[in-house]
Structure 1
């Protein structure tokens, strides 16, 4: 019940912010747009539906997959339609305070204030869109939004829950080509690190990154640390963890559609809603280093036996390499014999 109230309050706040921004847009002249970027010359506005599909499964991402407290899931989606001179976030750039708070905690108020300020200052933002959270690593959320020639770009961000500061999203996808709008755009999404928290695993405690790093894409080999939840050295590339589909729809008089209260339809899809084949990522067994050799046990003057052990750090999954031997013996000669 509390979650539903929070989402409804969140949607109401977004709606108020949208109304404020649209009012401001009517009274302020637009700033010049960089001339080195192809201009959209479409005469009409366009309405799009956005469908976000989570593909964060235990089969595709078996290492440390969150199954409880909390289980794998997705935050609300926060997006903007804007011109080419605005970026909500950028790879290899520093995250703003708003992106930081959203990536770490799922709090969107500072991020929305940054968007509002950009709209007032350089008239680069047209509207804000949102979609409800997905309860589970797989599932879908959707919303609708409007674009026009001056603001033909879309950016959005969705937080991975749980995670230190990881998210997926798109930066400045242009929905216009020359004088017409694209009918459909489909993009596979991969995880990003906001560069503000130094945790390696989904459930890492808060550990602020000082100084702040730039936003980087997480890969199967980066960060190159065995503790990293996405570290799969046998893989050349990580499988996509999510997908977004943008579809042009018949124009209506409605400027923007806020999502309705989340229902079961936002959660685990059934049938063929997720059309991609099931991905099974092999996870090799990981073991600790050997313990020191134990005492040499045996009679004085005769050879004895020493023993050492190691333990399993990560059990194999999806036909990954089996665990090696966990115990080992060797011959020795007892010391300190009388």
Structure 2
């Protein structure tokens, strides 16, 4: 029988499976005595978790503080264990599973002399010595991703001596995954297809709220150097990603987050205007520096059934590579464009520079990390977010989006669904292509000499510092469709007087300007 079990066990290990069993929390020096009746002498407590209807909820990728407290200081404990586990391990002595449930991780404090990671059980912390204790603290970091029905159990054991030890309800916490949206989640899910037969014009307002009062821990020593970069973003379709959690930062986002420079990101947005379902409107708002950081930064943009979402970013100075923003904010609903919404913003880490605080010495991350939230709930005492849960952190800004106008599409057949359009495109792609010769080649050669549009209007003047004084303004033009007719190109030549000779002509221009301070 023993040999048979061993063969089965080796078979599962060979195929990459994992044995999952319930942690035996019996004290290592126990004489075999079963646990005593739990009389409430010791309690396991979790901080920052939400409670509703007698249930406790956790939010993914958050830090929670766990403590074991003795109700009476005259009854200390010597040994303890704390285990994070899947409640399903109770179903059998051990369970063979190809996929271990992520139950998060338990973390000891840097200066903690009471606890260590257990070698007996996974996801378990235990005592270092047998000295008397009336209180012990560790951290639990919830899993980054959980299924909606996921439950996690935190179970503790406390031992006064070899004969007297406790487990039970007062030392057990059952956690349910929070099913409500995070405070900084957009109201609508991202849609693959927007069926609205209209366009919309929106106003976006960025309102800074980073201050010594709201964020006192390690607030920069020289607040006069504090500031936000220009608000930069785009309305776009499904084929454009300005930035996204879990992805690598583009060159534009890297320069924005590290140097508060929007120039490369502007280029990325403008270049994407020629892509199907790329970008439509370049969003650009004023930058704000101390003491005007609370003043709003505003911009206008348009959306349509192709470009039905927007993304924006604002760099924070000083910081290693932190920024605020939102990505793929959907504006298209089943029946109408979103009317109005306000969303709080919290810092993101571009993953390109190391640093734990606003004024940390910066060094390049090797290798570069993905874009993630700044380490809220950090275990580093030098961090402004030490032991802070996202639910307890004050927002660093608020972003308001407000619909101004809706324009019905005229002479446009909106009855076609995405499937019909896709089939039509497939037919065109499968059709045999004629060689480019003779007159056809001449037309394409002519269009190559005129493949950019006319200049748009100049943007408002954006001051380099504060709200007035010298600044700069921008105007842009888009690349032309290479399949426009020769007559259209000739018409543009007549209206503009000249046509660029090469495709490398600039698509954006900047010039100096001045805003009167009186």
TM-score bucket of the superposed structures, by smaller chain? 0.5 to 0.7
| Unpaired stretches in structure 2, ≥5 consecutive residues | 1-189, 408-455, 469-518
Pairing of 1:238-257 with structure 2 (within 5 A)? 238-250=393-405
CA deviation profile, 1:130-186 (whole Å, cap 9, x unmatched): 001112342311111111111011100000111110000010101110241111021
Sort the Cα spacing of 1:189 and 1:259 in 2 relative to 1 into closer, same or farther, 3 A.
Answer: farther
Residue 115 of structure 1, CA deviation: 2.2
Pairing of 1:187-226 with structure 2 (within 5 A)? 187-222=343-378, 224-226=379-381
Sort the Cα spacing of 1:93 and 1:237 in 2 relative to 1 into closer, same or farther, 3 A.
Answer: farther
Residue 191 of structure 1, CA deviation: 0.4
Counterpart contact for 1:92–1:215, Cα < 8 Å: yes
Query: Distance between the aligned counterparts of 2:272 and 2:404, measured in 1?
Result: 28
Pairing of 1:170-319 with structure 2 (within 5 A)? 170-222=326-378, 224-233=379-388, 237-250=392-405, 258-262=459-463
CA deviation profile, 1:20-52 (whole Å, cap 9, x unmatched): xxxxxxxxxxxxxxxx94421222211111111
- Could you tell me which residue of structure 1 aligns to residue 443 of structure 2? none
**Structure index of larger Rg:** 2
- Could you tell me which residue of structure 1 aligns to residue 324 of structure 2? 168
Query: Distance between the aligned counterparts of 2:197 and 2:275, measured in 1?
Result: 25
| Unpaired stretches in structure 1, ≥5 consecutive residues | 1-35, 268-338
- Could you tell me which residue of structure 2 aligns to residue 127 of structure 1? 281
Query: Distance between the aligned counterparts of 2:375 and 2:297, measured in 1?
Result: 25
Please identify which structure carries the higher strand content: 2
- Indicate whether 1:140 and 2:281 are aligned: no
* Secondary structure at 2:267 match in 1: helix
Query: Distance between the aligned counterparts of 1:256 and 1:183, measured in 2?
Result: 27
Pairing of 1:311-330 with structure 2 (within 5 A)? none
- Indicate whether 1:79 and 2:224 are aligned: no
CA deviation profile, 1:112-137 (whole Å, cap 9, x unmatched): 22223333344411121100111234
Sort the Cα spacing of 1:166 and 1:256 in 2 relative to 1 into closer, same or farther, 3 A.
Answer: farther
Counterpart contact for 1:73–1:138, Cα < 8 Å: no
Query: Distance between the aligned counterparts of 1:263 and 1:250, measured in 2?
Result: 31
Query: Distance between the aligned counterparts of 2:465 and 2:257, measured in 1?
Result: 25
Residue 102 of structure 1, CA deviation: 0.7
* Secondary structure at 2:288 match in 1: coil
Sort the Cα spacing of 1:187 and 1:234 in 2 relative to 1 into closer, same or farther, 3 A.
Answer: closer
Query: Distance between the aligned counterparts of 2:460 and 2:210, measured in 1?
Result: 22
- Could you tell me which residue of structure 1 aligns to residue 218 of structure 2? 64
Counterpart contact for 1:219–1:238, Cα < 8 Å: no
Sort the Cα spacing of 1:234 and 1:147 in 2 relative to 1 into closer, same or farther, 3 A.
Answer: closer
- Which among 195, 198, 206 is matched to residue 41 of structure 1? 195
User: Once superposed, what is the RMSD of the aligned Cα atoms?
Assistant: 2.7
Sort the Cα spacing of 1:207 and 1:115 in 2 relative to 1 into closer, same or farther, 3 A.
Answer: same
Query: Distance between the aligned counterparts of 1:201 and 1:155, measured in 2?
Result: 26
- Which among 246, 259, 263 is matched to residue 109 of structure 1? 263
Query: Distance between the aligned counterparts of 1:162 and 1:196, measured in 2?
Result: 15
Which has the higher relative contact order, 1 or 2, with Cα contacts under 8 A spaced 6 or more apart?
1
Aligned length: 229
Counterpart contact for 2:260–2:316, Cα < 8 Å: no
TM-score (normalised: structure 2)? 0.41
Query: Distance between the aligned counterparts of 1:235 and 1:154, measured in 2?
Result: 24
